[in-house]
Amino acid sequence: MTSPDQTAPARGDQRAGWRTLRPTLGLESLALLSSLFFSLCCNGLLWHRLLGELQIQLPFAFAVFVFVTALQAFLLGLVLTRWTAKPLLTVLFVATAFSAYYMGAYKVYLDADMIRNVLHTDVKEASELFVAGMILPLLLLGVLPVVLLWRLRLRRRTWRRALLVRIGFLIATLLVAAAAAALSFQDLSALVRNQREVRYLVTPSNYIAALLKVVMASPPGMKQPLVPIGEDAKQLPRAAGARPRLLVFVLGETARAQNWGLDGYARQTTPELAAMPDVINFPDASACGTSTEVSVPCLFSPYGRHDYNEKKIRSHQSLLHVLDRAGVGVLWRDNQSGCKGVCEGLPFESLSDARDPALCNGNRCFDEILLSGLTQAIAADGRDRVVVLHQLGNHGPAYYLRYPPRFRRFTPTCDTEDLGKCSVAQIVNSYDNALLYTDHFLAKTIDVLKQVQDHDTALIYVSDHGESLGEKGLFLHGVPYAIAPREQTHVPMLMWFSPDFARDQRLDLACLRREAAGPVSHDNLFPSILGLMDVRSKVYDRGRDLFARCRQQPAGR
């Protein structure tokens, strides 16, 4: 059977110009051209990393180029058919244009954690990521190739011939990729060994592989219940007549230690906390991850960074479930994007949609909303309580939206989410103003706790991860942990105890102040909070309990 000749001009169409220009292309040529387009136009960050930062030799760079292009052409050859080619490539061109823009603008690596961040981004966060500066790159890298694609006629072949051509194409691309790899074997194996993260820069393979990884890890509709931990958890009995304890755990967002006044930053970004001598500061605290999606589950897990296993962490219950099991009342109050599974099945209150006209603008609320109704929410019922306040904190890139006008003290600020339009100094000013507001929020929370009469109160604050503000050309966060700069992992952390709480816990605060000077991490929080609430369980690791060495043990306990 012969197919109709698709190269003849369309019948009855006499109009000249590009409207009649509909070149015919075989699917294999299309796969190769698309792959070349990706390599040449959408992998700027990859070439910048290889040639600019790692300074590899040109012949090796050329080999990488051939290898990547041939391999991505091979992968396209596996999935492109006459029916799938146009819809599939349309999605790929558009998604790749977005990826290339964000990778270029913020130097982000598209690994599974980053894809999880993207998938869990809510409408509010997404709207802050759309900026005018991305229109031109999206037109050039996304819309233009899609328009050209739909002008194409795809060559028809008999199935027998199509099969032969395709097999030939797949073998040829594999051979070319193999030849490029073989010719640069030593350099390539060294690169793969020492710079593993470079693979997260190869677009679009990076986000497709990451997406597959995320979907395979938790297939939609196949949600498993969390595996219980600490099933033996029990709270030690209290002395008769002791007041219930209330621990407020403030989970910060994107605050980094380098800009934290208490940690020695040249600017005073924490004036209110600095005026509180009873605050205990931890200047050397490390986060478990460089993104909310990694840090939050990790911080509340017994496995933490020291025994890091993402799958295990996500499939098991959290600190909050152990506390709940031991009879401690838990509550998560959220001004951000949820608790990332760590409060599953436990009391949860979202305040990000609150309508308080003084604190909310109909879209977002300032963090003080987390204090609204707090004392009612913790009305005494005799039980100890742990309340998590999940801040919006310094969530970027729209730092300028994170603080009320009176905290706009460092100027000029960057009053747009398009960081490319601002100088680094402006970006840092907005970021530091947002820290001033967190300082105020924490001081106010401590003041609220000082007023609470029916509980012994305490507060722990730690940020989930840091942020890059232009160092090494990096912005925002989410760099793979193994190569993450200190700006993204070194975070502020502090504690405050009411005198009654400290006395009841037999906490030697002078000892704790000495301990606080040393290195600590998110990994310390799981056992420390269990210890603070007197919960005993097999999952309690005394060696990591920050208070263990500063607690005077009474006889017989």
Q: Do residues 288 and 295 make contact, with C-beta atoms less than 8 angstroms apart?
A: yes
- Fill in the per-residue mask, 423 to 462: x = in contact with Zn ion (CB under 5 A), - = not in contact: ----------------------------------------
The least CB distance from residue 465 to Zn ion, in Å, is 5
- Fill in the per-residue mask, 137 to 176: x = in contact with Zn ion (CB under 5 A), - = not in contact: ----------------------------------------
Q: Do residues 392 and 335 make contact, with C-beta atoms less than 8 angstroms apart?
A: yes
Q: Quick one: tokens of 5?
A: 């000749």
- Fill in the per-residue mask, 27 to 66: x = in contact with Zn ion (CB under 5 A), - = not in contact: ----------------------------------------
SS3 411: coil
464 lies in the binding site for Zn ion (CB under 5 A): yes
Q: Is the peptide bond before 485 cis (omega within 30 degrees of 0)?
A: no
Pairing of strands 245-252, 468-469: unpaired
- Binders of Zn ion among 235-274, rule CB under 5 A? 253
Residue where the block lists tokens 């509340």: 300
The least CB distance from residue 438 to Zn ion, in Å, is 13
Stretch that binds Zn ion, among 286-294, 360-368, 416-424, 444-452 (CB under 5 A): 286-294
The least CB distance from residue 434 to Zn ion, in Å, is 13
CB-nearer residue toward Zn ion: 137 or 393: 393
CA distances from 466 to 128, 193, 258 (A): 19, 27, 9
CB-nearer residue toward Zn ion: 203 or 291: 291
DSSP 370: G
113 lies in the binding site for Zn ion (CB under 5 A): no
334 lies in the binding site for Zn ion (CB under 5 A): no
Size of the site for Zn ion (CB under 5 A): 3
CB-nearer residue toward Zn ion: 297 or 531: 297
DSSP 316: B
The beta strands (E) that lie in 351-492 are given as 385-390, 456-463, 468-469, 475-476, 490-491
The least CB distance from residue 25 to Zn ion, in Å, is 45
- Fill in the per-residue mask, 410 to 429: x = in contact with Zn ion (CB under 5 A), - = not in contact: --------------------
Helix extents (H) in 235-360: 271-274, 292-299, 310-315, 319-325
Residue 447 CB contacts under 8 Å (≥ 6 apart), including other chains? none
Please select the residue that binds Zn ion; options are 72, 173, 281, 292, rule is CB under 5 A. 292
The least CB distance from residue 315 to Zn ion, in Å, is 21
Stretch that binds Zn ion, among 141-149, 290-298, 482-490, 500-508 (CB under 5 A): 290-298
Residue 55 CB burial class (10 angstroms; 0-12, 13-18, ≥19) = exposed
Stretch that binds Zn ion, among 60-68, 200-208, 243-251, 289-297 (CB under 5 A): 289-297
Stretch that binds Zn ion, among 43-51, 165-173, 287-295, 442-450 (CB under 5 A): 287-295
CA angle, residues 442, 444, 448, in degrees to nearest 5: 115
Residue nearest to Zn ion (CB): 292
The beta strands (E) that lie in 356-455 are given as 385-390
CB-nearer residue toward Zn ion: 169 or 481: 481
SS3 463: strand
CB-nearer residue toward Zn ion: 204 or 466: 466
Helix (H) or strand (E) holding 436: helix 424-451
The least CB distance from residue 319 to Zn ion, in Å, is 18
Helix extents (H) in 53-204: 58-79, 85-106, 112-119, 123-129, 135-138, 144-151, 159-183, 185-194
CB-nearer residue toward Zn ion: 289 or 302: 289
Task: Please count the other Cβ atoms lying within 10 Å of the Cβ belonging to residue 322.
Answer: 27
SS3 387: strand
CB-nearer residue toward Zn ion: 142 or 289: 289
Residue 539 CB contacts under 8 Å (≥ 6 apart), including other chains? 229, 230, 233, 302, 322, 526, 530
Stretch that binds Zn ion, among 102-110, 190-198, 291-299, 522-530 (CB under 5 A): 291-299
The least CB distance from residue 116 to Zn ion, in Å, is 12
Q: Do residues 263 and 278 make contact, with C-beta atoms less than 8 angstroms apart?
A: no
CB-nearer residue toward Zn ion: 396 or 531: 396
User: Which residues of the shown chain bind Zn ion in the complex (CB under 5 A)?
Assistant: 253, 292, 464
